[in-house]
């Protein structure tokens, strides 16, 4: 019986491998043999989760043809991987990826580290801040006071608590987007919302247009759902959306869904202006594409004087094109797993009906807590605290990276939670690997692309500040030196750091 659970084609693996670009070797340095470079490239893909564990690799001859190398080179690389525990083989079953005994299985997404690991590792993988107290505690207490009437019911509200649906609808109406409660479904976070939308509109094999780069966890969710991702390149820096490219892709590829983060885009931090939003909605409507607008960052402007454009759904008065997704997780706290969908009533009814075969509904107590925040003014005060934390962290991190790595390039966004950094010609994948060895967890650029794009980038979130930001930048610089030299971490290993 075969031990592999999925397969990676020769052409796909070749694209992933060719995307890995290291700094050219300096004077006196020696490049590794071709087989060693190939083995290292496959190992990195496995360690990052971009090639899953237990994935069948192409036959030696197929991969050799795709890479334009000799079969001997591929055979030697596979043999090296087997010796290191990253490949297993059996006659008649082929070869499949593995991890050495004692190593954790790599994550496909950007899961946070367990709390017990935070004493020795600085986690820049997850763009989430601690809860804005005392507002979390107050919201939970307020929810407990409102709970008794609901405790006498079955507790299942597939569309969400009526009170919260009404409150969310009122908030959209206050933003100039008339909305009825029937246009709202409460979900278990934004991920739950997008998962439901993808299953309703984007069945297996359907095309989904995505920004390139885009949010790593959403890209992985769509891949797991069997979607065919169609990347649309973002402009450099904070310029954002190239509308000619979008119109061309929507017209020629005819994707069933397009997913965009128009408000402080994750990972670049770009903010779409009103003209870009209007043209994007028009292009989606002309192509018959459902446009999913992710608003999870919409309240996280960090600089004074930022003028927020109208929501994307404001350019779709008939409600036939745009589905909006919101969440409490970014603006308030990641542990508050409350999200929502705003769409036409018939779409909401379809989503609610389909939900009966998924999670049935969202926890009542957390819905009551968010409703308490919305109805008492606590939300605005908590989000203002969140903005202050993120602004200070952003400024500290930017200063530290500029000091430690002055050749790295980035544009400082006016909002959001992430900095998209061009890593001075270094491989983001190798930086991520070296970072683990010096006590820093940082996601590489290819996690945010399709088929290995953005190898020269890393994403840095605004989750640490002060001395921790300085230490994170110092460790990132240490990781860069390791990648540049091809050397190893000193015997002292990573330092324990206590904030």
For residue 229, the cross-strand partners are 208
Q: Which of 109, 82, 108, 75 is nearest to 97 (CA)?
A: 82
Residues 6+ apart with CB under 8 A from 153: none
Backbone angles phi, psi at 366, to 5 degrees: -70, -35
H or E stretch covering 53: none
Tokens of 314: 């404001």
Question: Is the alpha carbon torsion for 187, 191, 192, 194 positive or negative?
Answer: positive
Three-state secondary structure readout of 24-39:
CCCCCCCCCCHHHHHH
Kindly report the CA angle at 159 between 158 and 162, in degrees rounded to 5? 120
Mind listing the pLDDT tens digit of every residue in the chain (499 residues)? 346 666 888 998 998 887 665 444 444 446 789 999 999 889 888 876 678 778 889 999 999 999 999 999 999 999 999 999 999 998 888 899 888 876 555 554 566 666 655 567 899 998 889 999 999 999 999 999 999 999 999 888 999 999 999 999 999 999 999 999 999 999 999 999 999 999 899 778 899 999 989 999 999 899 888 898 998 988 878 888 989 889 999 999 999 999 999 999 999 999 999 999 999 999 999 999 999 999 999 999 999 999 999 999 999 988 899 999 999 999 999 999 999 999 999 999 999 998 877 787 899 999 999 999 999 999 999 999 999 999 999 999 999 999 999 999 999 999 999 999 999 988 888 899 899 899 999 999 888 988 667 888 999 999 999 999 999 999 999 999 999 987 544 433 444 333 3
Cα–Cα dist 134/145, whole Å: 17
Cα–Cα dist 322/492, whole Å: 54
Which residue carries 């079955």 as its tokens? 154
Exposure of 433 in the CB half-sphere (CA atoms within 13 A): 22
What pTM does this model have? Answer: 0.82
């Amino acid at each position: 019986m075969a031990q592999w659970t999925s397969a990676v084609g020769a052409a796909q693996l070749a694209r992933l491998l060719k995307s890995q670009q290291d700094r050219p070797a300096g004077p006196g340095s020696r490049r590794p043999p071709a087989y060693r470079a190939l083995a290292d490239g496959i190992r990195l893909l496995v360690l990052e989760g971009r090639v899953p564990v237990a994935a069948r690799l192409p036959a030696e001859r197929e991969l050799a043809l795709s890479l334009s190398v000799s079969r001997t080179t591929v055979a030697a690389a596979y043999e090296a991987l087997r010796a290191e525990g990253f490949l297993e083989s059996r006659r008649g079953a082929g070869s499949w990826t593995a991890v050495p005994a004692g190593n954790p299985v790599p994550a496909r997404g950007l899961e946070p580290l367990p709390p017990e690991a935070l004493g020795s590792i600085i986690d820049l993988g997850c763009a989430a801040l601690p809860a804005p107290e005392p507002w979390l505690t107050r919201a939970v207490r307020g929810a407990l006071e409102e709970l008794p009437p609901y405790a006498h019911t079955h507790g299942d509200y597939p569309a969400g608590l009526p009170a919260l649906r009404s409150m969310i609808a009122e908030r959209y109406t206050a933003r100039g987007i008339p909305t009825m409660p029937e246009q709202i479904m409460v979900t278990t976070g934004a991920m739950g919302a997008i998962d439901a939308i993808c299953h309703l509109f984007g069945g297996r094999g359907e095309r989904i247009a995505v920004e390139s780069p885009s949010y790593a966890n959403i890209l992985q969710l769509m891949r797991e759902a069997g979607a065919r991702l169609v990347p649309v390149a973002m402009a450099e820096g904070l310029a954002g959306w190239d509308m000619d490219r979008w119109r061309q892709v929507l017209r020629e590829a005819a994707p069933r869904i397009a997913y965009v983060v128009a408000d402080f885009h994750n990972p670049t931090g770009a903010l779409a202006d009103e003209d870009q939003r209007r043209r994007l909605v028009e292009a989606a409507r002309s192509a018959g594409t459902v446009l999913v607008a992710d608003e999870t960052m919409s309240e996280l402007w960090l600089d004074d004087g930022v003028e927020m454009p109208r929501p994307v759904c404001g350019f779709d008065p008939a409600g036939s094109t745009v589905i909006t997704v919101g969440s409490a997780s970014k603006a308030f706290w990641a542990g508050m797993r409350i999200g929502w969908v705003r769409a036409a009533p018939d779409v909401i009814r379809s989503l609610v009906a389909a939900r009966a075969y998924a999670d049935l509904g969202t926890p009542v107590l957390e819905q009551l807590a968010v409703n308490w925040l919305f109805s008492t003014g606590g939300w605005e005060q908590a989000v203002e605290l969140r903005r202050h934390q993120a602004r200070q962290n952003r400024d500290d991190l930017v200063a530290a990276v500029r000091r430690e790595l002055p050749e790295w390039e980035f544009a400082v966004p006016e909002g959001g939670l992430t900095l998209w950094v061009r890593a001075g010609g270094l491989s983001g994948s190798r930086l991520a690997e070296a970072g683990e060895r010096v006590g820093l967890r940082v996601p590489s650029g290819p996690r945010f692309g399709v088929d290995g794009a953005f190898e020269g980038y890393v994403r840095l979130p605004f989750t640490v500040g002060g001395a921790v930001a300085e230490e994170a930048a110092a460790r990132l610089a240490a990781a860069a030196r390791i990648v540049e030299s091809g050397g190893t971490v000193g015997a002292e290993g990573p330092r324990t750091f206590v904030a």
